[in-house]
Amino acid sequence: MSFNPSKCYILTTSQNRWINTFLYYLCGCVVRKVPTSKYLGVTLNEDLQWNAHIKTICASASRTLGFLRRNLKRCPTELQELAYRALVRSKLEYACSVWDPYLTKDKNLLENIQERSTLCPTRSQTKQQCHQHAKQSRVGPARRLSDRSKH
């Protein structure tokens, strides 16, 4: 089996401040060093912080949520909930046992998406009434993302 050196890279992780930098060669070419890399859908960072990954999945989930809200606004609530769980919630929870957020700012980013997912039943309601409805009924998910690690 042969490797393409232009598609290969090195991601070095260490708890030390100073990392020894070595040059690695593959087929006579120097393999480039990268600070972040995506592996199996999880963004890995050289300092093993998860903020880059959380920002990436929140942006993706937010775009998908916007798409669903634009296109499913006249559909039944059950269909909206099903679409949310299948397309948005699955993005937010993919491989969460690996990158489970422990910083409050990361948890807040994830919870923000979830709070935005609660859809108002009628267009005539005010924003205040929508928030009241969201707290009472939880149309999108059945429970908060932060509660999932407790069960």
pLDDT for residue 144:
59
pLDDT for residue 59:
93
pLDDT for residue 61:
93
Q: What is the DSSP string of the chain?
A: ----GGG-EE----SSSS------EETTEEPEE-SEEEETTEEEETT---HHHHHHHHHHHHHHHHHHHHHSTTS-HHHHHHHIIIIIIHHHHTTHHHH---SHHHHHHHHHHHHHHPPPS-TTS-HHHHHHHHHHH-SS-SS-GGGGGG-
Q: Does the predicted TM-score (pTM) go above 0.75?
A: no
Q: Mean pLDDT per segment of 10 residues, for the chain of length 151 residues?
A: 84 77 85 88 86 91 91 87 89 84 85 75 53 54 54 50
DSSP 8-class letter at 52: H
pLDDT for residue 93:
87
pLDDT for residue 22:
82
pLDDT for residue 131:
60
